[in-house]
């Protein structure tokens, strides 16, 4: 559906709901609550650099309130708002070891996995950071949800998205009918449709990988990365390297411009045999988004991210994600 630019998120959500007469409006309500949480986090992120100047030094601000670290603030903001939204039965967060219950009496039919502020190591150097979220339908019949409700394949997500806090704050999400991008107008506190029906170029322009880990990658991964660096006029190679060290920012640039992001398993840390990135609230939601935008997401042994059956809330997976033709080539090379 060709939408005029400037449509607000809530207008888009309500219009999309009209396309699904069977919809109860619960998913729309859930997404709207997430949007409110995102606006709250955005305001705090944008103030972070001024914390000291505005007298919010140390642990308390000038009002005597406890100044939370931004990722702690983001986590608490989402937890508190979503626990009483009435649409969720259980949550899991990158910041919490176990599942997070919702408020008694507010149990709903969805689950939420989220990374409240991915890339938080970049906060102090003013580099883009982001919130990533993933929504499934519950599996258990009612009441408080459980880990069983959280451990579901990415293929079964009903919604996925992220909020990118950067030069402007953007919300990018999908409910299975394509990928929509919205930009926040902070003067009115509204997200406006700015990137309707995002399609990612089928061939990359950028290669995103942390070359500092090269000596720890599997041999076949080194071979594939070397292939991407060889001159190939037809494929536009070698690609430019772009790696911010903030997954959401690297993903977003590649989604819009075309790129391949690779975080493979590495032998650097035996406790993290499958690399660094998490399945439930990083790889799986981004994999749904990229597939909805015409791209692909696999592990470094060619398994589709969306088909992985999770066994742990915080399990890590190697991730190769981006433009379809390059990920197809990676799949053939690495299998």
- Please identify, using beta-carbon distances, which residue of 33 and 71 lies nearer to ligand P6P: 71
Q: Are 184 and 191 contacting, i.e. CB atoms less than 8 angstroms apart?
A: yes
Q: Which of residues 276, 296, 316, 324 is near ligand P6P by CB under 6 A?
A: 276
Contact status: 247 vs ligand P6P (CB under 6 A): yes
* Of 157-165, 199-207, 245-253, 288-296: span binding ligand P6P (CB under 6 A): 245-253
Tell me the closest approach of the beta carbon of residue 123 to ligand P6P, in angstroms.
10
Q: How far apart are CA 292 and CA 72, in angstroms?
A: 31
Q: 60 vs 269, which CB is nearer to ligand P6P?
A: 269
Q: Could you tell me if 295 and 129 are in contact, meaning their C-beta atoms sit under 8 angstroms apart?
A: no
Which DSSP string do the residues of 72-100 spell out, in sequence order? HHHHHHHHHHHHTSSSEEEEEETT-SS-E
Q: Is 220 in the site for ligand P6P (CB under 6 A)?
A: no
Look at residues 276, 256, 252, 274 and name the one whose alpha carbon lies nearest to residue 265.
274
Query: Taking Cα atoms as reference points, which of 115, 108, 132, 143 lies closest to residue 28?
Result: 108
Q: How far is the CB of 278 from ligand P6P (least distance, A)?
A: 8
Q: Would you give the binding string for ligand P6P spanning residues 179-218, x where CB under 6 A is met?
A: -------------------------------x--------
Q: Does 245 bind ligand P6P (CB under 6 A)?
A: yes
Q: Which part of the chain contacts ligand P6P (CB under 6 A), choosing from 45-53, 56-64, 240-248, 303-311? A: 240-248
Contacts of 266 (CB under 8 A, 6+ apart): 213, 216, 217, 272, 275
Asked whether position 154 contacts ligand P6P by CB under 6 A, the answer is no
Query: How far, in Å, are 23, 31, 144, 216, 306 from residue 140 at the CA level?
Result: 20, 22, 9, 41, 21
137, with CB counted inside 10 A (0-12, 13-18, 19+), is middle
Among 38, 108, 116, 119, binds ligand P6P (CB under 6 A): 119
> Radius of gyration (Cα) for the chain, nearest Å?
20
Contact with ligand P6P (CB under 6 A): which of 121, 126, 240, 269? 121
Stretch that binds ligand P6P, among 7-15, 160-168, 220-228, 242-250 (CB under 6 A): 242-250
| Shortest separation between residue 266's beta carbon and ligand P6P, angstroms | 9
Is 118 a binding residue for ligand P6P by CB under 6 A? The answer is yes
Contact set with ligand P6P (CB under 6 A): 118-119, 121, 210, 245-247, 276
């Amino acid at each position: 559906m060709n939408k005029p630019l400037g449509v607000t998120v809530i207008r888009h959500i309500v219009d999309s709901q009209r396309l699904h007469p069977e919809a109860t409006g619960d998913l729309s309500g859930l997404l709207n609550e997430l949007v409110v949480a995102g606006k709250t986090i955005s305001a705090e992120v944008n103030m972070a650099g001024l914390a000291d100047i505005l007298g919010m030094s140390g642990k308390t601000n000038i009002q005597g309130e406890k100044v939370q670290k931004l990722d702690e603030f983001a986590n608490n903001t989402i937890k508190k708002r979503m626990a009483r939204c009435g649409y969720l039965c259980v949550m899991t967060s990158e910041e919490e070891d176990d599942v997070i219950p919702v408020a008694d009496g507010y149990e709903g039919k969805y689950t939420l996995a989220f990374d409240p502020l991915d890339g938080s190591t970049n906060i102090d150097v003013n580099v883009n950071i982001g919130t990533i979220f993933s929504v499934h339908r519950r599996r258990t019949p009612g009441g408080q949800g459980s880990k069983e409700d959280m451990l579901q394949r990415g293929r079964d997500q009903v919604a996925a998205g992220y909020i990118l806090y950067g030069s402007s704050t953007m919300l990018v999400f999908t409910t299975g009918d394509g990928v929509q991008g919205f930009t926040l107008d902070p003067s009115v506190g509204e997200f406006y449709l700015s990137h309707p029906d995002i399609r990612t170029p089928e061939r990359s322009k950028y290669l995103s990988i942390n070359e500092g880990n090269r000596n720890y990658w599997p041999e076949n991964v080194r071979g594939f990365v070397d292939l991407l660096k060889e001159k190939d006029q037809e494929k536009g190679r070698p690609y430019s390297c772009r790696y911010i060290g903030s997954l959401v920012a690297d993903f977003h640039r590649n989604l819009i411009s075309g790129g391949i992001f690779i975080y493979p398993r590495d032998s650097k840390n035996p406790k993290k045999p499958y690399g660094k990135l998490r399945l439930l609230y990083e790889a799986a939601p981004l994999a749904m988004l990229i597939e909805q935008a015409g791209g692909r997401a696999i592990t470094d042994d060619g398994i589709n991210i969306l088909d992985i059956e999770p066994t742990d809330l915080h399990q890590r997976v190697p991730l190769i994600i981006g433009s379809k033709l390059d990920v197809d080539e990676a799949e053939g090379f690495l299998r």
